[in-house]
Amino acid sequence: MKKKAKILFLLIIFSNLLFVLTTNTNNINALKEPINSNSSEFRAYSFAVPYMYTDVTIKKDGSIDISYTINFTNFIFGDTIDIVDIGFPNKHYKLRSVQAWIDGYEITDIRKSEYISIGVEIHLGSHSILPGESAILEVKGNNPKMVFKDDTKENFASCVFRQTWFSSQFAFGETERRVRFYFPEDLTNISEVEKRVSDYSVDFSRASNYVEFSKSSTPFDNDFYVGVGIPSKYVDRMYSEFWVYHFGELVAQVLFFLMFFGFFAFFCYGFCILPIKEQKRYLPPTIKSTGGAVRMGLKPSEAAIILEKPLTLVASLVIYEMMSEGLISVKQKDPLRFKVEISSKEKSNLPTYQKHIINGIKKREKSDLKWERGSVSGARPHDPFDQDYIRKALLSLIKETTKKMKGFNLKKTKKYYNELIERAWIDMKEERPELENAFLWIMIDEDYDDRMKEYYDDYYYPSWYVYHYHTHYYGRNRGGLEKVEGKSGFKRTKIKDRGKIIPGLDFKRIQKNIVRSPKKLLSSVKSKTRPISRSSGRSGGGGGGGCACACACACACAGGGR
């Protein structure tokens, strides 16, 4: 008997290994998750989700009723699915409202999840899904504060929902996925409903009065993100802001602000279908718009961070600031190279992000020297810094700026610096340099190229700019430079020959040369400042992972994880 059991055990292990290899999983051990943090026991999970249906009912009080119907098929070589985590959109969900059934049998052991930040864990007990078996899990619950004022259409309310998913470490196959939105009883004309966010297949059912989004994908696809807008008269309460909190093992807080006419960015990285600007957000979610006063005294590069300007522009501003402070200078223009103008002792007193820039310059100097000596093969690097140091510098600058914003109002601060940029243009045009760094402030304006051509004749360039650029482009002894004094007495250098040097052009050249791959840089920075939570596996089955989302209307997310 023992011999037969041993043979059967070996056959199960072999079939498990064969399945994993044929499905091209990268790491067999990824299917193993600890039961809890205090145990050394490991289990392997392997299952499919043939279909997953979600009904979202919008209530007049601004809450939503969520109903999941999930079909699990546990593979013969998978371990028993005895606990399933289900995430909820926000921390206001009502634990006492959550109900669950497995194949029609009610499950009463429902607790706050120990593995996800916002959600429940459903203990299946005697109704656990054994290897080789299938079962249908139904989960229902209420989540308040999920209907929000629609920023894209007046007198409209919006609700956006992202369906849960399951970790690719232990979920396989195809999944039929569907989300249906139901509405308050007095909304009887389905034509009043408008879709939001999604480009998925959508059906407006006039007979049953619902809107259905559907797709066929994998159980670990975290991209099923849909929403609707309805006239606000059908709800008694709407909310103006929504914060989505951290999920998953990393316990990474991800916060998104409401987007107004596509201006605000981000980043539901990997699953939100948003305008291009929305995908380029990188500010940490800890910076808030509520309460506080205006944060004054920021440098141009820090203000650019607050305004979430492109990271290539921010990096260029950092370089310009360091040049204006005499920390670095232009060594050559093609390929662009910089020279450190301060000693190591002086460097120690600099902020961290400037130290990274200097380290990047020195590392490039060393690589150039090796290239000149022929000790390294290939083409000479075109970028003036080691790219990793640019990334480190920007992360450090974002971190320092975030600290400076603590207790201050983001919205008011943005307005203040946008107005400051406009004042810099006026100072430049009227030769009234009340802002000594007007030159740097106008660089934050993404329309500076056209505006510079409009104001060019009247602008007096700062001497450090002309020193670094005019001398390298035209030679120090050539004509065309004139020392003049502005109306307020601030001495600057005026370039007399129109068209020879335009800051916008040089600034764009700087941006292109400094950063080798803007998209890669943005992705790398966002992975640290606005991380996407991943789902986690644990004794039993699976649920989706953490959830983070944002859109022009406020959003509801769902996720969970085991």
d(CA 108, CA 171): 26
d(CA 238, CA 459): 49
- pLDDT for 7: 45
Task: Look at the chain and count its residues.
Answer: 562
> What topology does CATH give the domain 47-250+533-557?
Immunoglobulin-like (2.60.40)
Phi and psi for 503 in degrees, rounded to 5?
Answer: -50, -40
Contact present, 93 and 141 (Cβ < 8 Å): yes
Instruction: For residues 385-407, give the mean pLDDT.
Output: 88
pTM equals 0.43
User: Around Cβ 337, how many Cβ atoms within 10 Å?
Assistant: 17
Q: Is the pLDDT of residue 530 over 80?
A: no
Residue 461, beta-bridge partner list: 493
- pLDDT for 500: 33
More confident residue, 277 or 256: 277
Angle in degrees, CA 202, 207, 210, rounded to 5: 40
Alpha helices by DSSP H, listed for 165-215, are: none
d(CA 395, CA 530): 11
- pLDDT for 529: 81
- Per-residue pLDDT tens over the stretch 405-438: 888 888 899 899 998 888 877 776 666 545 455 7
Q: Which of 244-248, 270-274, 457-461 has the lowest mean pLDDT?
A: 244-248
Helix (H, G, I), strand (E, B) or coil at 174: coil
- Per-residue pLDDT tens over the stretch 113-126: 887 778 889 999 99
Q: Where in the chain is the domain with CATH 2.60.40.3650?
A: 47-250+533-557
d(CA 149, CA 142): 20
pLDDT band at 461 (very low <50, low <70, confident <90, very high): low
Q: In this structure, what token pair is assigned to residue 408?
A: 């201050």
Q: Is the pLDDT of residue 561 over 60?
A: no
- Antiparallel, parallel or unpaired: β 99-102 and 134-143: antiparallel
d(CA 312, CA 510): 9
Identify which of 286, 148, 307, 164 has the alpha carbon closest to the alpha carbon of residue 229. 148
Number of helical (H) and strand (E) elements in the chain, helices listed first: 14, 24
Can you list the positions of beta strands (E) in 426-510?
A: 481-485, 491-495
- Per-residue pLDDT tens over the stretch 42-51: 357 788 999 9
- pLDDT for 466: 52
- pLDDT for 365: 83
d(CA 443, CA 313): 8
d(CA 456, CA 425): 11
Max distance between CA atoms of the chain, in angstroms, equals: 102
- Per-residue pLDDT tens over the stretch 248-272: 333 334 433 444 434 444 444 344 5
**With pLDDT > 70 as the criterion, what percentage of the chain qualifies?**
63
Indicate the burial class of 333 (C-beta count within 10 angstroms; 0-12, 13-18, 19 or more).
Answer: middle
Q: Is the pLDDT of residue 475 over 50?
A: no
Phi and psi for 221 in degrees, rounded to 5?
Answer: -75, 115
Give the mean pLDDT of the chain: 72
Phi and psi for 4 in degrees, rounded to 5?
Answer: -65, -40
